[in-house]
Structure formats: structure tokens, C-alpha cells
Structure 1
Amino acid sequence: MAGLFDPYTIKGLSLKNRIMMSPMCQYQANTDGTVTDWHFVHYGARAIGGIGLIMLEASAVEARGRISRHDIGIWSHEHEAGLKRIVDFGHQYGSKMAIQLAHAGVKAETDEPNVAPTALSHFERYAVPQELTVGEITQIVGAFATAAERAVRIGFDTVELHGAHGYLINQFLSPLTNKRTDEYGGSFEKRLRFALDVIQAVKGVLPAEMPLLLRVSATEYSNEGIDIHEMVKMVAAFKQAGVDMVDCSSGGTLPVAPPAIYPGYQVQFADAIKQGADIPTIAVGLLDTPALAEEVVRNNRADLVAVGRGLLRNAHWAKVAAQELKVTFELPNSYARAY
């Protein structure tokens, strides 16, 4: 069975190891959504550190879709040069580069009114949003496709749709936040429609060999919300529409915490979706202990392991993990003397 430091290939994407840098907002972008030197250094350091797949943080497909005023954007040509500089540098050190395409919906914090499937907010910090019209929904679907085209042109190796944590795609999926009575809400099938429209639109502009990733909240920690059983059914539909791999997180729709948080607490979701929907998965959630990350891959509970906080603490996390697991792993010569 393959381990954490074995290569992995899905369609035309070949990774040198099975470590993914989890997408983590840095809140360091310029107010027009362009990246800064912070992003270049931040992501570049992790490429030098040998990460197989570096997933850039949530990048908004339109200005009003930013989580904050200092989030990365990918809705304009003005965003391309800075992103390309990061991608090209990452490629120099053998990392594959990905970007998470996002729209925050009701959870946006910009100067524009928030939008959502329904005029409803579960969070005190967010204003009640404007309910999207069908025409506006179509425009946002197009914005996702345009952003994906831009990502391909920049040179990203794959893209991930952010369908988790109570952001716009998740808002359409969830019965907690989608109270529509038209073709985009109500039944299970209608709640899927926006996500399926986005998937099909994005898939239509990606090269055939480029995999499409999707991040989901496998459970919303509410008896009235999505649970893992419903999410497996959703992922089966997403797979049929063109999703190639699922990044398995949880929560975010409501201001509630999981009942218990511990290393590996979300691996069960990656495992259940991998087996139940027969699709490759990425495990997340406090997986920065090398032995645990290795266990997840060795036991085929997920295909990749996403490391977040561990890579914030140490850009060379992969080297430390390799030493602990007694695997040969070389950093650039400039850093060799450190080990």
C-alpha cells in the first residue's frame, strides 16, 4: 500500500508526494484582490519545502464574493500577473499548484450587499443577504467558469471549487440556508442544481486531462442539516457531473462547533465518501502528526492528506515528517546543512 511520500497521479496531475497544503486565507491581498509579496513568500516557501500539491486560499470569482476585503480575487485580468508569479515559482521546485475558486455568499465581508439563495443569515456578524434571482445565479455560474479559464491560462495544475463551510455553493446545498421554492431549492435534487451548474460550467472550460476538485462540508452538525449519508449521495451526483476528487471537511453553515475536535476527527468523512461514492478523497483536520498522516494514506482512508496549521508553523513540515517516517526526502542544497 502506498505511503505519504509515494507519488500520486489522477488524470493528468502527477504529484511527487501525497501531501497537500490546505487552502488557508491569509487576509493579505490588496483591496482590489491582487496578491502581495506576502503570498509569493508564503506559497513559495512551501514549494521549497517540498509539498506535492499547494492549494492557494479561497479566491473570489467576483468582488462581492470575497470572504474579506483582503482576500485574493480571480475575477479580473489584473489578478493574473501576481498569481502567475506564484505558480511559476512553485513549479520551479516541483510542486503542483492549485487554486480554490470561491464565492462567500452571505458570509462575505465587502462594501457590497451580500447575496445568498435565501434572505437568511444564521450569524450575527453577517447582515441578512439579498436573495439571488435566477438571472443572477446564471451570472455567478458564468463567473466560476471565467475564473476557471483564467486559472488555466495562468498555469494552475488543477482547480478546486469551494463547496464547504457555509459559503455560497454550500448555502444552496443546505436545507438550513436554502428555502427557495423554484428550480434551485426545495427537494434534494433542486438543492443540488446550483452546484451541478457550476461543476458543469467549470468542467466545460478545463482541459480534458485536468482533474476538478471539490471541497465539501460532509456534515453540518445539525439534525436539520446535511449529514454524511446525504453528502455521500450528493458526491455521487457531483462525480457523475465531472468532479474527480473530493476534499472532505465539515461544518461552517451554522455557528456551532463539532462535538469533539481531535487529530484526525474528520478522516471518517474522507473514508466514508471515498468508499460510499467510489471517488478519490483528501482528508483534512489536524493531520500534522506525521504518523497519523501516514496511517490515513497507508490504510486507504484517503488518497491525499491536507496539512494546514502544521505548514503554518513550519514550511519544511514535509522534511520533518520524512525524518520521522525514515523516508529519504531532499530539500534544495541551500537548506541541506540544516538537517
Structure 2
Amino acid sequence: MAPASISPTSTSTTSLHDSASTHHAAALSAQPNLNPPIPGIPYFIPQHKVSPGAAYPTTAKIPTLFQPLTIRSLTLKNRIVVAPMCQYSVAATGPTVGALTPYHVATLGHYALKGAGLVFIEATSVQPCGRISPNDAGLWSDAQIDGIKAVADIVHAQGALLGIQLAHAGRKASQTAPWIGGGHNGRRKNGMRSTKDVGGWGPGGVVGPSGGREMVWDGRDETDPEGGFWEPRGLTLQEIGEMIEDWKSAAVRAVRAGVDVIEIHGAHGYLISQFLSPVTNKRTDGYGGSFENRTRFVKEIIAAVRSVIPEDMPLFLRLSMTEWLEGSEVEKAAGGSWDMESTIKLAKMLPELGVDLLDASSGGNHHRQNTAQFSIKDYQTKNAGRIRKEVKADGKGLLIGAVGLITDAEQARDLVEEREPSLGEEAQAVHELTDAEQGRDPYADVVLVARQFMREPEWVLRVAHKLGVDVAWPSQFLRVRFPKL
């Protein structure tokens, strides 16, 4: 029987399109997808052949700044980290209180797109009363997981890692955003207290290791219109135990959200920092008095977080290396302060507690601190180098992160680069610990950069270009790539 014939005039348009589609599909199936999407993301993002910010293989020596760094099971493609930066851009009330938004996807995702190896979400409170302002991020509820997951998706799509800084502001909580309180425009030296009618929780809801009028951060009474902080009340032992559990619960949620690295915020005069310092910790129980007691709170938080996150997940701790109160009347009145010696002593304990990296910052615990901040670029990084040297000499495997006024390519490169000292440096090092002796070893293992990324989201790509390092650019930006030097 002869096959049925179909005349051209009887062929439908649909049949022609179906035939063409089948032919096209067959042609595509014979070759790999030339522009495959990132799997597991609910929208299209092309896979980069090489992650943005990663150095291409070369026979030339690549600066350490652009060499990978493995921490437990994870590898950073370079040593440049976006430090946590508060944005005061989440809802203060309602069903989305404390949850990240598309704004955070746009800002944090763009830092990853432009080549950062690790991007940190801003200080994220483990309790509602731990936010610096009502508009700060939180992770005390499962409802806040999805916002973080959205940020994780865009960051991972660029081959970067995502970190989160878990925090509690303690006596520095319930303020307003700085552009409301005047902290960034010169109208006021301090911030402005948030009252309950705008989502705040003071007075009465702000806590610290110790309470009372003398514990107000800026020393101003609550009736003073120029004051920016509430009077805290001292935490009970039961509340301390509950807070440690809340840190643990927030860590579990961070893992569920797809975060790669957790950092515990123990710096800048926030709650952990307040416990560490004899200036702000006047407790007479097991959490106050001696160094052992004042460090108990942070050690118990570290243990709690480490117990619920994967064994191969990196854990960081940010500390203020010093309060910048050495020799001051404040220190004399308190019988001491948190200083470099205190930090080094605690740093040597951290590896055994499960901490992988110390994020070495400073200050923030008292309004009368005396520091050269913003006038001397190495006001923090030199101290980070000292800690790294002493921890290394003690045989401890603790990584160090340097942060503070890191803006230049050469500066960032030199902080993590091992260099040979000159003969003059050798002679000088015989007598004292000097910058030259520090120059033999890196000051740090990674650099954490904050404000410069806000000025230049493409900072990683600019640094690579200036240092003559050939790094990958995002696929969508190749047509505007800097020309090779």
C-alpha cells in the first residue's frame, strides 16, 4: 500500500512550525548547551566559565591576594572579603520585620558579581531587642530565612561564598538609622534613640551585662535631647542562657538558608564586647570579674554555634583588639580595659574552641576612646599583624583577617603577602618588634573591605587590573573589561 500523500497546500502552519522546532531541538541536542543556566535558581543566570574575581592560570607569580584560600571544606577564590555593613533597610514592624529584601540581593549580589571571594551579610540580630535599630536585619524567626536564601542564590551564582554576622547590640540597641539620627551628616555627634512608636524597644528593653545610668554608652541621661542611647538593664542568668540558645537557633537557620560562613560579632561595643571589658562588665557572678569569667559568655556562644553547624563549616569571630582606652581615666576607674594583651590571650584559645579566623577590628565600647582612626591607615592592620605573629609563634592554627581603611591595591596586596626583609630591616628587628620585622610575614590571611566597596563595587576588578593580575570578569560585563596592561 502506497503511503498517503500530503499536498503542500494542505500542510498547516502548525505542522511547519512543529517540524522546524523538532529539527532545531535535534540540532541543539547534538551539542552542549552554549549558555547553560545556574541550576536551582528560580530565574536565569548564565554559568560563568571562570568565577568573577578568580585569577586565570599563568606561569607568572600571582600575588597572594588573588590566590585561593581553603578554610575547612570551603575555598575562597581570592583573599578579598566584603565586610558586614549595616544598611538599615529592612522593615521595622509587620510580617517581614528583620527580613532581607531585594535591596540586599541587589547590593550584596553585585559585590559577588564583581569578584569578591566572600560576601558578608550585615550584622544580623539573634533577638528582636538585639538590633542596632528597628530597621536592622534579624534571624530570630524562620520567616527571615527566605530573604537570606535569595541573597545566597545570587552570591553563589557568581562563584562566591556567603557569610553572615550574627550579633546582638546590647546597650547600643534601639537607635535610629544614622541618616535620621544625624550620625553621618554632622548634625549630631551620636545617634538618636528609637522609641516604641517607631518600632524601638527602649526604655526597659535595652540590655547589657550590667545596667544603670552609668552604663549609657554616650554618658548622657535619657532626658538629654542630644543623647543617642538608652539606659540598659543588666541581664539575668536565665536571660544569658536563653540568649546563648538564640545564637544557636540563628546559626541553624543560617545553615538552612544556604550560608557558607558564620561570624560571631564580638566587637565595636556590642553585647559580647561589653561582656569582655571590665569597663562595661561589673557583674559579680560567673560572667564578670576575672578574664576567665568575662570571656565565658563568648566562649559559650562559640561552643553553642559550633555544636549545631556542619563540622566542615568555617566559623569566624570578630573582636575589637583594643578599646583604645589604655592609660585613660576610664581605664583607671574600671581597673582595666580590653586591650591587645587580652585579645592575644583569647586568640590563642580560639582554635580549640572551633574558631577558624579572627576578624581583627577595634574600638566602639566607650565614647571617650582615643584612637587615630581615619588619620593613620594602619591603625588596625598593624595590630592584626602582631596578633598573627604571636598566635603563629604559639603554634596555633588561627587565620587572621585585617580590616580598616583598606582602599588601595598595593596596600591590600602587602597585607597578605610574605616579603623578604632588607638588611636594614634585619638589623632593626634585633632590637624590637617593628614594622620591618612584621614585613617578613603577612599581617593577615585575608582582607575585609567595607566602605570602599560602597564607593566602588568593582573594587576587586580594579585592584586586579592595577596589580597586573588577569582575573575573570562576569560574563555579562566582558565587553567593558579593562584592557590588559
What TM-score, normalized by structure 2, do the two folds share? 0.68
Distance of 2:360 and 2:238 partners within structure 1: 31
Partner of 2:446: 304
Say if 1:288 and 1:308, in contact at 8 Å, map to a contact too: no
Name the residue aligned to 1:282. Answer: 401
The offset of 1:238, in angstroms, is 2.8
Partner Cα distance (2:216, 2:201) in 1: 17
Computing the radius of gyration from Cα coordinates, the structure with the larger value is: 2
The reply on whether 1:203 has 2:264 as its aligned counterpart is no
Partner of 1:43: 108
Q: After superposition, what is the alpha-carbon deviation per residue over 1:211-252, rounded to whole angstroms, capped at 9, x for unaligned?
A: 110000001011221111111001122332221110000000
* 1:276-318 deviation digits (Å, cap 9, x = unpaired): 2232110001112010000001032100001111100111110
Aligned to 1:19: 80
What corresponds to 1:111 in structure 2?
201
Question: What pairs up with 1:87-126 in 2 under 5 angstroms?
Answer: 87-109=152-174, 110-112=200-202, 113-119=205-211, 120-123=215-218, 124=220, 125-126=228-229
Give every structure 1 segment of 4 or more consecutive aligned residues whose post-TM-superposition deviation is greater than 2 Å.
Answer: 237-240, 259-265
Residue 405 of structure 2 is aligned to residue 293 of structure 1: no
5 Å-filtered alignment, 1:120-139, equals: 120-123=215-218, 124=220, 125-139=228-242
- Distance in 1 between the 2:370 and 2:454 partners? 22
Instruction: Measure the CA separation in 2 of the matches of 1:184 and 1:284.
Output: 29
Q: Partner of 1:106: helix, strand, or coil?
A: helix
Instruction: Give the drift of 1:259.
Output: 2.9
Specify the SS of the correspondent of 2:477.
Answer: helix
Q: Identity of aligned pairs, percent?
A: 41
How much does 1:126 deviate? 1.4
Distance 2:443 2:63 in 1: 12
**Is 1:218 matched up with 2:360?**
no
Question: Residue 323 of structure 1 aligns with which residue?
Answer: 465
Task: Compute the displacement of 1:34 (Å).
Answer: 0.9
Deviation at 1:257, TM superposition (A): 4.8
Count of residue correspondences: 339
1:258 corresponds to 2:371: yes
CA-atom RMSD in angstroms: 1.3
Question: Could you say which structure has the greater relative contact order, defined with CA pairs below 8 angstroms and 6 or more residues apart?
Answer: 1
Q: Residue type of the partner of 1:313?
A: R
Change (3 A) 1:257 1:68: farther
CA distance in structure 1 between the partners assigned to 2:403 and 2:469 by the alignment: 22
For the 8 Å contact 1:163–1:216, the answer to whether it is kept is yes
1:164 Cα deviation (Å)? 0.1
Indicate the SS of the match to 1:54. strand
Where structure 2 has 5 or more consecutive residues not aligned to the other structure, the ranges are 1-61, 175-199, 221-227, 332-336, 393-397, 419-441
CA distance in 1, matches of 2:105, 2:98: 14
Give the match's secondary structure for 1:126.
Answer: coil
TM-score under structure 1 normalisation?
0.97
Does the aligned pair in 1 maintain the 2:80–2:447 contact within 8 Å?
yes
Contact 1:13 / 1:158 at 8 angstroms: preserved in 2? Answer: no
1:151 to 237, 250, 254: 254
Question: What is the letter of the counterpart of residue 205 of structure 1?
Answer: V
Deviations 1:118-157 (A, max 9, x none): 0122323212111000000000000100001111111111
In structure 2, distance between residues paired with 1:44 and 1:287: 21
In the alignment, which residue of structure 2 is the partner of 1:78? 143
Instruction: Supply the distance in 2 between the matched residues of 1:257 and 1:335 (Cα, whole angstroms).
Output: 45
Once residues 265 and 137 of structure 1 are traced to their aligned partners in structure 2, the CA distance between those partners, rounded to angstroms, is: 34
